[in-house]
Structure 1
Amino acid sequence: MAQPTVFQLLVDERRWRDYDVFKHHYEEAAAELAQREGPPNLRTATIGRRQFVRWLRGQLESTPRNDAKRILEHLFQVPVSHLFQPAQHGSEQACPGETGRQATALQSGFYQSGMEDAVSMAAHESARFAARVEQSNVGPHTLEQLRVDIQRIIYTYPNRPVMPLFLEVRELRNRAFELLEGRQPPQYTKELYLAAGTLCGILANASFDLGQYGPAGTQARTAFLCGELAGHNGLRSWVRGMQALIAYWDERPEDAVRLALSGQEFTPEEGTAHIRLASISARALARLGRHEEALSHLQTAERHRQSYAGPEDHGNMMAFPGAKQSLYASTTHLWIGTDHACVSAEREAAAAIDTYEAAPPEQRRLGELSLARMDLAHARLQQREIDGAAEQLQIVLAMEARRRTASVGRRLEQFGRRLALTPAARTPLGLAMYDSIAAYHEQHARSLPGGSAQ
């Protein structure tokens, strides 16, 4: 074959090219599906040698269906419709700095790291075994493992492509739902609702980052319900903030203000959710033209920040560090739009960029950093600093080539519309910026977003 399929690459990465090795993993996946979802006869499903060879060579008359489809998707966490497609389908310019397997995975829209996948899979297998051998439906080990898994996801989310993480979180959420359907002591039930609500909140965030606002809203409503059942103010206030963000980006700023104010009714047990809510409402109020109220809410956020005694947690996706507060303040000032506000926006955006870039690479919020740079570009455009705006735009486009986000895409659209209304649009540099944005959107239409930003 001129180009290997995704199936062939995944089999090679996992060292399953030997028929007996692949057959063992295939039958294990079938047995696990039979136990989890049924029907029971799925437990005896297997794969013949000739069929495996045809899959490996890409010699298919049609994609696998029925039981084989379910088993393959469970085994690889990749839709069958993509599994037997050429892995290098797409533009060769999409990842100019990547080579080998990493480039292939990025171009096909999937993130696959052989070592990380193998280690993660082994950990999940051990966790499932430990959960099975506990005497009751839920025990201390099950809850501890759920907490550890959630913490790992919360701290790795800002730097991971969304879709593979989405599938992992969905599996954990389903596990939490299954445990809630069983019997457990009341204190465990409360913690399970908190875990399930947190996982639904992460799925809402991921759906939002993929530009799917309707499903994001559904996930958020379920997350809020779980927060209610757990009696946890921190989760309830964070989810209200998530709902407000969805409304803001879905062109519903009035709903964003209402939801953010609703979230402020819950005093979080800890964390920065109250700072986040005030910052969200400030941005939405400014968009509605209610400038004095917007500035008042920025002041409220700053008062909350001054009284906050917790850690400045850059790595936690559910935290609201000072850099993100500066980012929201810069966007608020841009919506106000006066000359003085543009100067403030430039200052806040530059402060956010400096703080984001000072964070360790594993804690750097790349999507938010791109949004801060877009705010800086917008502020400079409004102040007729065309070279400075173009510089920030090119940095953002380079970052987005590796890690796309729906929110940054929207900001690029807004920048392009603003650019078209200025005299700079007719200059060679202005035309070059407009062409770069158009090329980005043309390429973006062919692929899913892969990062996060709000």
Structure 2
Amino acid sequence: MEPEPPLFQVLVNQNGWQEYEVFKRRYRQAAQELADLEGPPTLATAPPPERRQFVRWVHGEVKTTPRTEARRILHFMFPGVPIGRLFAAASEADRSSGVHGPAECAQEGQLDYGAGDVVMAAANESARFAARAESSNVGPHTMEQLEADIRRIVTNYPNHPVGPLFREVRALRDRAFDFLEGRQPPQYTRDLYVAAGVLCGVLANASFDLGRYEAAETQARTAFMCGELAGHDGLRAWVRGLQALIAYWDGRPHDAVRLADAGSAFTPEHGTAHIRLTSIKARAYGQLQQAGDAIAALHTADSMRDRMAIGDDLPGGMMAFPQEKQLFYASSTHLWLGGSQHLSNAEARAEEAVGMFEAAPPESRRLGEMSLARMDLAMARLNRGDLDGAALQVYDVLGVNARRRTESVRKRVGQFGRHLALHPAGTAPTAIAIREAIVAHQEQTPAELPPGGTQ
């Protein structure tokens, strides 16, 4: 006949703590609550039992009574259960009861610990609720630091290699998730959802830059969900824009238009999110060869820029849509539409964008976006017969992209190389040299995470 399991095993199973890592987490939480409620503060750092000790407790193989700190924490976790009773064999009533702790069993007479124990158990439960309601894992300093880290990351992102930043952003996102799983006053919960949404958005953008579109879309969906939970229109509009951008680069212009329209349903608190959405839509219409819709969208974006109220875009940095970025989106739109007038417009917009990108201090230049603007300029110049002018832009892009690789720049360089091969000037020595440089560049290691990185 099988021996009766110890009451500890029964209660752990009833509470869903049978996995060691789950129990350890709950033990630490109880230690923190008890330290906050009764003290001393050092109780919060009391180490949980090791895995082998936990296994012995589960099987009733207890040779010595747990130390004082552990006894206090266990009593707090299982109020009303004497420590000796906790590791003794459970009765049939213990095992058949559907309760999650001894206090309710005692009320039904299933565990007779005495009226005093039941009263104290009820008092402890109320005290634990008060401690949880009063305590917080997030305070003003924590939020200030998290927001400062996010501002630093979104500011540095356009100017630094994607791989190393990815791992840092992932760690910061995990910290935001951990905060959300803890306890905080309601006023911090919304801020945490916005922070988590921004960080998921950065990870989506990074995944996109690494050529992992499926992972990018998953991250973007989570970012949008965080925006929904926070009720933050600016974040929701920005994420819809990112999703539209992914669809555009993935060759799904109809989806890009649909997602941009969906983002426009949210009225941001301030900033450039709607200008970005409309500019993305213009490029998608250009890809679809819907010239009227594309030009109308460009005019709408220009009007929005003129009417824009002063205000920051979320934390700024990569999440802002400055004038120069709008200009090169316009140049891409004109390139898609083709024809001498559109080529002239594309060259003018791209040239102006490159000049504005270059005017920024070197440490804050948007390298990927500046490279894309240069590729637009190179394509416009090539199609107008200026091979040497195109070559200057391409070589600059190859140098920058060797240091900060992104999938979108790689695609544009590849498109240029294929177009050049079919161009009337494709057999010229300058053209051959450009194509050889592009082939050598494309054969280098693609954009990737550092060893051990995952998405």
Instruction: For 2:367 and 2:312, locate their aligned partners in 1 and report how far apart those are by CA, in whole Å.
Output: 17
The answer to whether structure 1 residue 283 and structure 2 residue 283 are counterparts is yes
**CA deviation string 1:271-319 (max 9, x = no partner):** 1001000000000110011111000000110011001132698971100
Structure-to-structure mapping, 1:54-453, within 5 angstroms: 135-310=135-310, 316-445=317-446, 448=448
Inter-partner Cα distance in structure 2 for 1:404 and 1:39: 45
CA drift at 1:436 = 1.0
SS at match of 1:340: helix
TM-score, structure 1 as length reference: 0.68
SS of the equivalent of 2:443 reads: helix
SS in 2 for 1:423: coil
Per the alignment, do residues 318 and 39 of structure 1 end up closer, same or farther by CA in structure 2, a change over 3 Å counting?
Answer: farther
Cα distance 1:312–1:182, how it changes in 2: closer, same or farther (>3 A)? closer
C-alpha contact 2:270 2:311 (8 A) present in aligned 1: no
What is the CA distance between 1:210 and its match in structure 2? 0.9
What's the offset of the Cα at 1:401?
2.0
| Identity between Structure 1 and Structure 2 (%) | 61
Task: Report how far residue 419 of structure 1 moved.
Answer: 1.0
Aligned length: 327
The alpha carbon displacement at 1:40 in A equals 7.1
CA positional deviation for 1:170:
0.9
Q: Where does residue 114 of structure 2 map in the other structure?
A: none
Judging changes above 3 Å, is the alpha-carbon distance between structure 1 residues 41 and 348 closer, same or farther for their aligned structure 2 residues? farther
Post-superposition CA distance 1:361-413 (Å, at most 9, x none): 22210111111110010001111111111111111112222222111100011
- Residue 135 of structure 1, CA deviation: 4.8
One-letter code of the match for 1:153?
I
Question: CA separation in 2, counterparts of 1:40 and 1:224?
Answer: 40
Amino acid of the structure 2 residue aligned with 1:339: S
1:363 partner letter? S
2:270/2:309 contact within 8 Å kept: no
Q: Aligned in 2, Cα 1:259/1:342: closer, same or farther, shift over 3 Å?
A: same
CA offset at residue 330 of structure 1?
0.3
2:74 equivalent in structure 1: none
The verdict on how the C-alpha distance between 1:315 and 1:144 changes in structure 2, with shifts beyond 3 A counting, is closer
Of the structure 1 ranges 402-411 and 293-302, higher mean CA displacement relative to structure 2 is found in 402-411
In structure 2, distance between residues paired with 1:180 and 1:318: 23
Q: Structure 2: how far apart are the matches of 1:261 and 1:176? A: 30
Gap change, CA 1:229 and 1:391, over 3 Å in 2:
same
Determine the C-alpha separation between the residues in 1 that align with 2:394 and 2:337.
22
RMSD across aligned positions (CA): 2.6
Residues in 2 aligned to 1:211 and 1:257: alpha-carbon distance in whole angstroms = 21
Distance apart, 1:177 and its partner CA? 1.0
How far off its partner does 1:147 sit? 1.1
| Aligned mates of 1:449, 1:168 — CA distance in 2 | 11
Contact map agreement 2:151 2:316 (CA 8 A) in 1: no
- Tell me which amino acid in the other structure corresponds to 1:333: H
Q: For residues 437 and 342 of structure 2, what CA distance do their matches in structure 1 show?
A: 28
The code of the aligned residue for 2:419 comes to R
Cα shift at 1:247: 0.7
TM-score w.r.t. the length of structure 2 is: 0.68
CA–CA separation in structure 1 for the residues paired with 2:176 and 2:349: 41
Query: Contact 2:271–2:309 at 8 Å: present in 1 too?
Result: no
Letter in 2 for 1:286: G
1:39 & 1:426 partners in 2: Cα distance? 73
Range with greater deviation from structure 2 (304-313 or 416-425): 304-313
- SS, match of residue 388 in structure 2: helix
Question: Are residues 160 and 349 of structure 1, via their aligned partners in 2, closer, same or farther at CA, if it must alter by over 3 Å?
Answer: same
Do the aligned partners of residues 268 and 312 (structure 1) sit closer, same or farther apart at CA in structure 2, a change above 3 Å counting?
closer
- Structure 1 distance, partners of 2:340, 2:305, is 27
Residue 424 of structure 1, CA deviation: 1.0
Cα distance in 1, alignment partners of residues 150 and 309 from structure 2:
24
Question: CA 1:377–1:39 in structure 2 vs 1: closer, same or farther (change >3 Å)?
Answer: farther
**Distance verdict in 2 for CA 1:294–1:40, change over 3 Å:** farther
How much has 1:39 moved relative to structure 2? 10
* 8 A contact 2:282–2:293 mirrored in 1: yes
8 Å contact from structure 2 (residues 270, 312) kept in 1: no
Counterparts of 2:449 and 2:325 in 1: how far apart (Å)?
Answer: 21
Counterpart in the other structure of 1:103: none
In the TM superposition, residue 245 of structure 1 has moved relative to its aligned partner by 0.8
Deviation of 1:449 after TM superposition, in Å, equals 7.7
Say if 1:339 and 1:328 are closer, same or farther in 2 by CA, change over 3 A. Answer: same
| Cα distance change of structure 1 residues 242 and 202 upon mapping to structure 2, 3 Å threshold | same
